[in-house]
Structure 1
Amino acid sequence: MSDYVSASAIKDLLTECPICTEHFDEVRRIPRRMPCCVQSICQACLETYSQGLPTLSCPMCRHQHNLPGGVKSLPKEPIILRILDHLKIVKGLHLPCTDCPDGNPAMSRCDDCGVFLCQECLNAHKRVQPMRDHQTVSFKEMKEQPGKSFNRLHKCAQHHQPLQFYCYTCEKIVCVSCTVVEHKEGKGHNVVSVDEAHKEKAKSIDDTLVKLREKAEGLEEIKQDLKKRHSNIQVSKQAAVVDINKAFDELIDEIQQRRGILLSDVEERSSKILKLTQEGLDSTSNILAKVTSSTEYTRQMRSKADKIEDLQMMGSSAATLSAMLQMSPKASLGRAGVSFASTCFSKITPLLKMAGLVKSVVFSPIENPNGNKSLNDAMTIEHEYVPEAAYMTWQP
């Protein structure tokens, strides 16, 4: 039962479609092998992705496939189908008899024919002369056997004979009839036994898998390094944002302080001028009121007086009226006011547009003499172009 436990541990990988996560079966969710990414995807998902068109974009790696025969032209994955059958036997699920038309539940399997047999068909199977020596195994016995011992019978789809040879020329597994017809050695085909081809190709694929494992280890190191660099970039970004905000907050504080100083200066200077102007205004208003009231009063009184009274009044008021002619308001500043001159603003504004500098430090991989690449050898510092005017303050 240990092999069954191993199969159970990887059942999600081998018995479930990676797209819909539904279990494969031999009716609707038939596992179809994708040649681009070495993955098996159920037929239902592939039909959904292809939408009935003769082209298919692989759901896993997006590789484009031209399938004139549709999704069904992709090969079935026999290993998964075999694992499914073995799991059904182990779990005691229903498997129909292959030979009888009634679909009776199978009880055993013929290793030579690769068929499932009910009890009646098993008895008949043993009575047929050519099949008397066939090895049959009951499901009870198969539950105790490792899953790898549960093999399917591979037959040629054209000649219905066991697949025993491999044609290197066509890269195809063939039967004995194929070797004397389509894959005849006299026609230039290189045909060897399945065992010989398997031995040679197994060595080749094992070497490739070792190299891929080494490549995966190298890629994992690069991945971890890139993740670390990604995190460092995020940290440097936040630090740059903090530095920029701090620098400009300080600059804004300086500008606010300068604005406060200028506004206070305006207030102080305008207060002095306004005070002097107000004093002149008050003095002028007082003299005007006195002159106006005295003049109007004298005119009205004279219009009511006789000559004697008029003569008396003129004698008493002539000196006062004459003194009013000499009165003058306090001296004013003439035309005065305050104004703001944007001195140096024509120089400050361009400098503000160039204030600060964002730099990108990039470590580019370079190839060492030993052929390895290092991510830390070549450093490039990139920043925005700064006009010569930026250095007008003679700062480095």
Structure 2
Amino acid sequence: MAVSKVELDLECPVCHDDYTEPKFLPCTHVVCCKCVVSWLAVNKQGGCPLCRAPILHFPPGQDVNDSVNSLPTDLATMALVDSKNALSDSHVCSVCDQTPSTSYCLDCGIKLCKSCTAAHGRFPSFREHVLEELSCLTPERLASSRRYPCDSHPDKLAELYCPYHQTLICLLCSSSVHRTCSDVKTIGDMAKEARVTLMEQAVRLRNTEAALLAQIRQVDQEIHGTQAQFNAWQTDVADTCDSLQHTIEKLRKEMNAQLQKEQDNILAPKRARKTLLEQQKTSVQAHAGSVERLLIPSPDSALLGMLDKLKARLDDLERSPPLPGEKSGVSPAKSSFSATLIQLQRAQQLINDPSASSSVNTELNAEPVYHTAICREIHVYHNTGILCYDSSCRTVPVGQFVGQRPLGPGCNKFSI
């Protein structure tokens, strides 16, 4: 698992190859130098290829390569990449160049065959060198043993670290340029202190990450809960509207059927009366024609003969009882559906004006006098006026505007 994790960490997230000169971006992502250059060549003001955080601020006229080179190099990752490449190369002895190598000198950085390994240990200057079997050597172990040259003397290995100047130094530098610097320690001691500090910081960061993850999960739960609640409300709205639509459609059919029935009950006698009237009109019209024909110049004897025969019929016609009359222009009596219609009209006004939901039952002493004094129920709206809702009122239809007065918000229902 450790090796696979290292291999994963050694892969550039942009080109998906092993890192070549890995650069630390301000967002702490690590990307190959060449990948950063290629990315900024296309998007000069673009951010990190992974998180889009700003990378660099380019002064006017500055070259992209110079700006990218100014980014810090991830030396730890580079050491792992170099160690991996060194172990994956051909295992041939670096001394005799022919025999397969079996060990690696961590101090010299060379591969050795069995014979050269034995000879290597016989030299007094090499006796303290650390030799590792190639079959057991890992990139991490090889990288951790890597030593760097002094920043001021590249031909000498750095053995000390100056915290004040933040640089690797050799023994010569410690006795000359850095002799007055305090806290100069060996690289090993400084690395131990740094690892302790980094470990503590890593624990704090992981704890912060866990806390943020817990908060994210909490927010996710709140989001899901809110979405579920609003989905439930939307379902309730849809169900209520569907039920209301079904109820209204049912009422519409029932009311139309009742209206049709009452209309038929009212119109049936009227149509029967009309039929009788038309029959009487036809009879009267026929008799009138007969009488008019007698007025045509004709012999007197013929006139008298026909008159005697016609007179009896005319007497019967005049003696026939007249049909009962009806007052013209009288509206039909209110149907039994009026109460339901009134309720629907009230519901419609309540939907159109949700603020008209408060109601009080009290006596109203306001204009218009007729409706406030006689009608048993009126509604008062701040934006509509006074509407009559007394089903027994014969002055105006139900819901008709009858007056206006200054009011506060809402609707007041007055039962008088």
Q: What's the TM-score once normalised by structure 1's chain length?
A: 0.65
Number of the residue aligned with 1:258: 251
Q: What's the CA shift for 1:40?
A: 1.8
Q: What's the CA shift for 1:251?
A: 3.1
Residues 193/64 of structure 1: CA separation in 2 closer, same or farther (3 Å cut)? same
Q: What's the CA shift for 1:209?
A: 1.9
Partners of 1:390 and 1:156 lie apart in 2 by: 90
Q: What does 1:1-396 align with in structure 2 at a 5 Å threshold?
A: 6-8=2-4, 10-11=5-6, 13-20=8-15, 22-26=16-20, 30-37=21-28, 39-51=29-41, 55=45, 57-66=47-56, 68=58, 69-90=66-87, 92-93=88-89, 111-112=106-107, 114=109, 141-151=133-143, 152-156=146-150, 159-160=153-154, 161-174=156-169, 184=178, 186=180, 191-300=184-293, 303=296, 305-321=298-314, 323-324=316-317, 328-332=322-326, 334-337=328-331, 343=342, 347-352=346-351, 389=410
Instruction: Using the aligned pairs only, state the percent identity.
Output: 17
- Could you tell which deviates more after superposition, 11-20 or 337-346? 337-346
CA displacement 1:260-291 (0-9 Å, x = unmatched)? 34323322322222223212321222122222
Q: Is the 8 A contact 1:52 1:70 kept in 2?
A: no
Residues 283/49 of structure 1: CA separation in 2 closer, same or farther (3 Å cut)? farther
Q: Is the 8 A contact 2:23 2:71 kept in 1?
A: yes
Partners of 1:392 and 1:97 lie apart in 2 by: 106
Cα RMSD of the aligned pairs, angstroms, is 4.7
Residues 176/34 of structure 1: CA separation in 2 closer, same or farther (3 Å cut)? farther
Residues 117/13 of structure 1: CA separation in 2 closer, same or farther (3 Å cut)? closer
CA displacement 1:365-385 (0-9 Å, x = unmatched)? xxxxxxxxxxxxxxxxxxxxx
Q: Is the 8 A contact 1:164 1:174 kept in 2?
A: yes
Q: What's the CA shift for 1:324?
A: 4.0
Structure 1: unaligned runs, 5 residues or longer:
356-386
Amino acid at match of 1:194: I
Structure 2: unaligned runs, 5 residues or longer:
59-65, 355-407
Residues 147/319 of structure 1: CA separation in 2 closer, same or farther (3 Å cut)? same
User: SS at 2:23's partner residue?
Assistant: strand
Q: What's the TM-score once normalised by structure 2's chain length?
A: 0.63
Residues 321/49 of structure 1: CA separation in 2 closer, same or farther (3 Å cut)? farther
- Could you tell which deviates more after superposition, 79-88 or 324-333? 324-333
Partners of 2:178 and 2:411 lie apart in 1 by: 83
Partners of 1:177 and 1:347 lie apart in 2 by: 101
Larger radius of gyration: 2
CA displacement 1:203-250 (0-9 Å, x = unmatched)? 222222222333334344444444444444444333333333333333
User: SS at 1:32's partner residue?
Assistant: strand
Partners of 2:92 and 2:307 lie apart in 1 by: 148
